[in-house]
Structure 1
Amino acid sequence: MRPLDPRLLRQARAARGYVVLTATLGFATAGLVVAQAVLLAAILAPAIQGTATLPDVAGPVGLLAAVVAARAATAWAQERFALRAAARTVAELREQVVVHATALGPRWLTSGRGPAVATLATRGLDDLEPYLVRYLPQLLLAATVTPAALAVVLGLDWVSAVVIAVTIPLVPLFMVLVGQLTAGTSERRLVVVQRLGSQVLDLLAGLPTLLAFGRARGPEERVRALGEANRRATMGTLRVAFLSGMVLELLTTLSVAIVAVGVGLRLVHGGMDLEPAIAVLVLAPEVYLPLRQVGMHFHASTNGVAAAQQAFEVLDEAVPEAGRRHAPRLAGSTLTLHGVGVRAGDRDVLAPAGLDLVLPVGPPARAGRVATGRVVALTGASGGGKTTATLVLLGLVVPEHGRVTWTTPDGETVPLADVDLSTFWPQVAWLPQRPALTPGTLHEAVTDGADVDPAAVARAARTTGLDDVVATLPDGWATPVGRGGAGLSVGQRQRAALTAALLGDPAEVPLVVLDEPTAHLDARGEQVVLDAVRAWRDQGRTVVVVAHRASLVRVADLVVEVTSASTATPGAGSKAPVSA
């Protein structure tokens, strides 16, 4: 573990300015420490020897008061700017981790690192604050105050300087030995916290299903066991911190005592003057103090440094190169999956395997022409790759086998990998199993803040049954909706998302992709989804739906079975292209 990782300075702009400021304040502190010791010796020596009166030392006393005030102001400035820089640095790293993880795609997030990123971006990086506020300033003070004070001691008494020079390397030596042990315990604690966070996230995500099958109380033992492991790891870290702190305190106290004994003996035998002796005695603790503080705050910073290292590991992951071509108009085009196969996590299984699908996206109805909408249902056994197939179609997952192409209305074929997905996604309405709504009022979440005809909103709400939900809310359409749709049930969010998709312009959003939209709904909610699917087809849109229930399959114009296969047979699956 590096004391100051250069990657932190590269990734966080706030950290660079903070390090420069801290170094400047460190040099100022070094000068003030030396000045304070020299002035204190100049005041005390004549007073002890009785060779000076109060008016004689009035000038040095005034200077000493100014130095003490300046040192206090420096410490205040350090603390204030440290807190600001820490908050900004953590915010910058958190934003970069989230943005980079999003750019890596859902395939990477679901490969085992996704839950870790969730914990890292929330609680994990918050532990970086003690490192920036406490540890890093003391580290820079150890690089400035300690050499400056030792140089002054050398000029005052070379014997004391030799004693300090011999004993001071023992402090970083013990810090390294103890720090290696502490770093290991901190990394283990972070892993336990991430496992606990993953377990809780999985539990919350699957709670409706667990409740439906009466298994809601099953995972509680696992969560309790992880919580106990987190407690043991935390107590282990604290135990090592307390013991190592005692070792460092004892070591530096004995070193200062050796200097003091040598100075005292030479004073008794007349081998040293009083004024330099006082200066040496005042400076000796200041030489060791920054190193003692580094050791003290090192343990509080290890959790944050471990989190920062994991953040850098995420940021070092190579992002797949994005397509640079602007997406053509989707209406009237054809999306084709050619022998698509995707590895299922770490298993030697492709899910889907060898999937072929020709998906024309017909234009919406116009005057004098009938709409060419269609519904395509993806069916198959659980784990067969139906959801993954939709992610491939959306460009969110790159298949290991096969390819996805886009045939424009004028006959040009373009690989989807070459298309700038940011220009493709606005033409698609995607509804996952648990839709997320943007924060704001319910009306803003449904209309996405656009100026939409109230009559159109009312018609769409009647189709999805959202009007019944609005009637039960105290503020109606003005009801606040939290991040992700907090404040609404899963079924209510589903109806709001369906309403928002219905309000889209069929010419601008001709493709709708649904991932098991009836998985968590009752019979009434299922009917709402069926009505919405028929409405999209009547608008001339193409609807791709992952279907488990027979009611959705009956609505479909084409049913495609998605199958999995061993990686040894990547060509398994549907052999001939299935046309919708």
Structure 2
Amino acid sequence: MKPLDPRLLRHARAARRYIVTTTVTGAATAGLVVGQAVLISLALAPVIAGEAGIGQVWPLVALLALVVAARGLVLLIQEALAHRAATRTIIELRRQVLEHAAALGPRWQAEHGPDTATLVTRGLEDLEPYFTRYLPQLLLAATVTPATVLVLFTQDWPSTVAVILTIPLIPIFMILIGRMTVRLSTERLEAMERLGSQVLDLIAGLPTLKALGREEGPARRVRALGRSYRLATMSTLRMAFLSGAVLEFITTLSVAIIAVEVGFRLLFGQLDLTTALLVLMIAPEAYQPIRQVGFHFHASANGVAAAETVFEVLQTPAPRRGSHSAPDLSRATIVITDLSVVSRGSLAPHGLSALIPPGRITALVGPSGAGKTTTTQVLLGLLPADEGGVSVRLPDGERVELEQIDPVSWWAQISWVPQRPAIVPGTLLDNILGESRAGEPDGRRPVPEALEAAARATGLTEVVASLPQGWHTVIGQGGIGLSLGQRQRLALTRALVSPAPLVVMDEPTAHLDAASEAHVLDGVRALSQAGRTVVVIAHRPALIALADEVIEVTAGGAAPDCSAEGDGRDRVDLGAASGGLRRAAPPAEAASRPGPDAAREEDR
């Protein structure tokens, strides 16, 4: 990133305001620095020469005190504005990255999700030194240094020549050292992203690794990445200390040259004492901002590297979004026409054509990797189709393409039930109805009758009865305190209470035993009886037998034999045509409730 990258000003409004205020405070600082040097020289020279006493220069001393106080006040304002601007800019960039990452879709998130999570948490925090240290000094170098050099030129041009000849030494060494610092900072950010990604993956799969006794291998990998990150950080700090020492040496040597030159000229009577003091006071101020830019560049290099990554994310083109309002899905038919999506080097799904009628249960079936989840992502408007597409057909025959529909209005009519539902810390009731309203006594909000009826339909009432505080029992992040089956019942109840006419489910009976599966099937049946359109990814025969329509999804044009059985009496004909749509047999009661001989899976 450039010292003052226009992209930062374009993406962060707080940064633009901060630049304006910092420019004003920088100009004020330049004026106060020059005024302070002039007052010191005018006050000290007569006293040292014996031409005046302390009482005679007292007005100058009082004015000097006011200038020093004003300079301190400007510095205080600058620091306060810098910290506020840094915090607001980080918040703005974090929000934009999250929103853009969500707009890029699940495929991009699956590839870059861990790196992005590290970026928006620890990575962006490194921008604070850039705003609080580096950027103010950069603007001071653009205001204070020219002002002091101009004053020197009006008072003593030989000293000005010395300053002009020695000042370029600082940028030259800054460039030489800065190139290495940027490389080290980039390596540090990459090491931090690798470490963050590995830790997130380890946390996500820790229960499985622990169950298989394989947690030691990833732990060693995390320790190795931690050492790599520590070494990269120490390399950056070592370079910062060394560069600081080099810049300090160059500045000290340059000021010493001017001091010696002024001293000899003062000794030989070629310079008066007032001008000599003014030169000695102003010369260090000319070097100070540039030296501080080089010194604080290393503190801000990590933030600059993070900002570069932010801009890479924000400049990634997102899929085009429509602007038409979504039609009423309770009466519309969803039409899938020759849908193909490129996935892992093949088409999954491939050439899928089907109808999803309103108010019915439609099951997506097929082997693993056929593209069932990808199909639901296209239906949800999260993933664009590479070939074909999805449209909505209204009762009057009018059709609207999904890519032309505003995604916000589309999502407002959809309830999504994944395998692992999103459950936030809070009470069971809050997770269904939303956050508790302010002003309700003890946070005990009443339970609506519609929720009670939905809970009875999904079997959630049994879960509520087993909890110590019923609906007001607090559960943890991700549903800690509930089993997988209980979490699915919670998600189904939430979908049943929701007014969304379309409910999309991703294998809601996966990892459940027979009893929990029966409750989930009851919830799916209740959704259908409520007139909702249900699209469900299904593998188990009982869930397939419950469906009114069955869509076979295949990859690469293949048509594997995916026939499934219900209870042994009714067979669901999935057909052999790729992407075919078949009418399912009427589900029998026994098919929706597996018997004792059915294979049971642990309700983890």
Same fold (TM over 0.5): yes
Cα 1:377/1:440, change in 2 over 3 Å: same
Unaligned runs of 5+ in 2: 438-444, 559-575, 584-604
Q: Distance in 2 between matches of 1:511 and 1:274?
A: 87
Residues 534 and 214 of structure 1: CA distance in aligned 2, closer, same or farther (over 3 Å): farther
Aligned length in residues? 558
Q: Secondary structure at the match of 2:57?
A: helix
AA partner of residue 382 (structure 2): L
Q: Deviations over 1:208-260 (max 9, x none)?
A: 44445444444222222222221121112112111111111111111111111
1:71, 1:530 → 2: CA distance?
73
Question: What's 1:42 paired with?
Answer: 42
For the pair 1:279 / 2:278, whether they are aligned, the reply is: yes
Cα deviation per residue 1:508-556 (whole Å; 9 max; x = unaligned)? x332211122334444433332221222233343322223444433434
Amino acid at match of 1:42: L
Evaluate the alpha carbon distance shift between residue 490 and residue 312 of structure 1 in structure 2; reply closer, same or farther with a 3 A threshold. Answer: farther
Give the match's secondary structure for 2:300: helix
The farther-off stretch of 429-438 and 485-494 is 485-494
Query: Residues 53 and 473 of structure 1: is their aligned pair in 2 closer, same or farther, counting only changes over 3 Å?
Result: farther
Aligned to 2:377: 391
**Is the 1:393–1:404 contact (alpha carbons within 8 Å) kept by the matching residues of 2?**
yes
Q: CA deviation at 1:271?
A: 2.1
Q: Compute the displacement of 1:405 (Å).
A: 1.8
Q: AA paired with 1:85?
A: A
Checking the alignment, whether the CA contact within 8 Å between 1:341 and 1:352 is kept in structure 2 is: yes
RMSD: 2.5
- Of 344, 366, 376 in structure 1, the residue corresponding to residue 363 of structure 2 is 376
Identify which of 325, 345, 356 aligns with 1:359: 356
Asked if the contact 1:511–1:542 (Cα under 8 Å) also holds between the matched residues in 2, the reply is yes
Is the aligned partner of 1:519 residue 2:513? Answer: no
For CA contacts below 8 A with separation 6 or more, give which structure has more relative contact order: 1
Residue 163 of structure 1: CA displacement? 0.8
- Secondary structure of the structure 2 residue equivalent to 1:565: coil
Query: Judging changes above 3 Å, is the alpha-carbon distance between structure 1 residues 574 and 230 closer, same or farther for their aligned structure 2 residues?
Result: farther
One of 419, 422, 428 as aligned partner of 2:414:
428
1:566 Cα shift?
A: 9.0
Whole-Å Cα distance in 1 between the matches of residues 408 and 502 of structure 2?
Answer: 15
CA drift at 1:131: 0.5
Counterpart amino acid of residue 514 in structure 1: M
User: How many Å separate the matches in 1 of 2:409 and 2:434?
Assistant: 18
CA distance in 2, matches of 1:398, 1:81: 43
Residue 172 of structure 1 and its aligned partner are, at CA, apart by 1.1
Q: State whether structure 2 residue 513 is matched by structure 1 residue 501.
A: no
| Helix, strand or coil at the partner of 1:461 | helix
- Cα 1:338–1:63, aligned 2, differ >3 Å: closer, same or farther? same
Q: Secondary structure at the match of 2:412?
A: helix
Aligned mate of 1:404, from 360, 375, 390: 390
Paired residue for 1:532, among 523, 526, 538? 523
Name the SS of the counterpart of 2:534 in structure 1: strand
Deviation at 1:294, TM superposition (A): 0.8
Does 1:257 find its partner at 2:256?
A: yes
Deviation at 1:300, TM superposition (A): 1.0
Specify whether residues 397 and 86 from structure 1 end up closer, same or farther in structure 2 by C-alpha distance, changes over 3 A only. same
Maintained 8 Å contact 2:551/2:579: no
* Cα distance change, pair 555–297 in 1 and its aligned pair in 2 (3 A): same
Give the distance between the partners of 1:414 and 1:236, measured in 2 at CA: 58
Give the whole-Å Cα distance in 2 for the aligned partners of 1:265 and 1:54: 28
* Alignment match, 1:7: 7
Q: Map Cα deviations across residues 454-474 of structure 1 (whole Å, 9 max, x no partner).
A: 333223224444334434555
Amino acid in the other structure paired with 2:7: R
Q: Return the offset for 1:486.
A: 7.0
One of 408, 416, 430 as aligned partner of 2:402: 416
Q: Give yes or no for contact 2:338–2:387 (8 Å, CA) kept in 1.
A: yes
User: Following the alignment from structure 1 to structure 2, what is the Cα–Cα distance between the partners of residues 513 and 576?
Assistant: 19
| Counterpart position of 2:440 | none
- 2:79–2:132 CA contact under 8 A, matched in 1: yes
Task: Report how far residue 489 of structure 1 moved.
Answer: 6.2
Give the Cα–Cα distance (whole angstroms) in 2 for the partners of residues 492 and 68 of structure 1.
68
CA distance in 2, matches of 1:4, 1:475: 56
- Paired residues of 1:431 and 1:497 also in contact (CA < 8 A): yes
Contact 1:375 1:555 in 2 (8 A): no
Structure 1 pair 483–77 and aligned structure 2 pair: CA distance change class (3 A): farther
2:342 is paired with a residue whose SS is coil
Report if the CA contact (8 A) 2:425-2:479 is conserved: yes
1:66 match: 66
Structure 2 Cα separation of the partners of residues 460 and 175 of structure 1: 68
Matched, 1:80 2:80: yes
Kept after mapping to 2: 8 A contact 1:464/1:529: yes
The two structures have a TM-score, normalised by structure 1, of 0.90
Give deviations 1:114-154, integer Å, cap 9, x for gaps: 32222222222111111011110000000111111111122
For structure 1, the 5+ residue unaligned runs are 363-372, 568-572
Counterpart contact for 1:208–1:520, Cα < 8 Å = no
From 454, 458, 472, the counterpart of 2:448:
454
CA deviations over 1:183-205 (Å, ceiling 9, x no partner): 12212221222222222222233
Partner residue in 2 for 1:29: 29
**8 Å contact from structure 1 (residues 190, 306) kept in 2:** yes
1:317: which partner in 2? 316
1:445 corresponds to? 431
Q: For residues 555 and 243 of structure 1, what CA distance do their matches in structure 2 show?
A: 71
Taking only the aligned residue pairs, the percentage that are identical comes to: 56
Q: Please name the residue that 2:543 is paired with.
A: 552
Pick closer, same or farther for the CA change 1:521–1:244 going to 2, 3 Å. farther
**Partner Cα separation in structure 2 for residue 306 and residue 252 of structure 1:** 28
Q: Trace 1:11-410 onto structure 2 (pairs within 5 A).
A: 11-110=11-110, 112-344=111-343, 347-362=344-359, 373-381=360-368, 383-410=369-396
Residues in 2 aligned to 1:435 and 1:409: alpha-carbon distance in whole angstroms = 33
